[in-house]
Amino acid sequence: MKITVRAIIALFLVLTAISAEASAAEKITVGLKDVVNTVEQSYRALSTLTADFFQRSTIARENREMRADGQMFLKAATDGDPIKFRFDYFRPTTQEIVSNGRTLWMYLPESRKVLLSDVSFVFEPSRFNPDRDRASNFLQGLGRISKDFLITAPSQAQDIEGNYILELTPRRATATIEKLFIAVRRDAVLLYVQNNRDISRLFNDPLRQDLAFPVLSTTVVDHQQNTTIMEFSNIRANTIMSDQLFEFVIPAGVDVVRPSPP
């Protein structure tokens, strides 16, 4: 086949046009507010969530690290029902943390103990006003981080894969958090911005359920500089989930311990 100068020029023009389109797509302007809105609005739109997690905790004074992994389940609060959640730890030891939003059970099979706590004052919808009260925990607070924290983009605002990093400082001093860092999935933020900031588009792709929960990881730093990192994977969003998953039947022969209220 004879290649002419005209053919080469035509090919060059096509490639230039493709390159220009790609560059335009890459130049989507993403602001700090877009990243925050992606986290808050997607969390508020969730009805249920299942995810695998990897947890890494570091004790600064002892220079010691502890690792664990497992699976979490979440059922969002409604007008009449509190948030429900379950954390099943597989390694290094098995344990179950289960709550129906009113009672919390922490089962430690190796110790043959169940810690049983009343958490209705924390999660009960009739007692918690999101416009007035400060969220007291990670599960309750993702949908309102802009109310509870001062949010900035750290000097390294993106990780090596381009995911966005948020640095959060509590607006009011807390006993457990000095800083909180959230890694937010880049694809979810770009899709949110590209689609006129319509969060519903993040829930329409059954092959990308990870977009519906764009939080890749959270890092909590306490006042002693101890850190706890939670990384999330294998996201499944808005699936049918029975309330029985959030009830716990205390096994026979297990000691029940009721911790003193804070």
Instruction: Look at residue 201 in the predicted model and tell me its pLDDT.
Output: 84
Domain limits of the chain?
Answer: 32-257
Determine the distance from the C-alpha atom of residue 122 to the mean position of all C-alpha atoms in its chain, rounded to a whole number.
Answer: 19
The CATH topology of domain 32-257 is outer membrane lipoprotein receptor (LolB), chain A (2.50.20)
pLDDT of residue 73 exceeding 80, the answer is: yes
Its pTM stands at 0.81
Distance CA 151, CA 33 (A): 9
Pick from 22-26, 88-92, 142-146: least confident: 22-26
Distance CA 105, CA 119 (A): 10
Instruction: Look at residue 121 in the predicted model and tell me its pLDDT.
Output: 77
Instruction: Look at residue 160 in the predicted model and tell me its pLDDT.
Output: 83
Distance CA 182, CA 30 (A): 16
For residue range 101-160, list pLDDT tens digits in order.
Answer: 999 999 999 999 999 999 887 776 555 554 444 444 566 788 889 998 999 987 667 888
pLDDT of residue 23 exceeding 80, the answer is: no
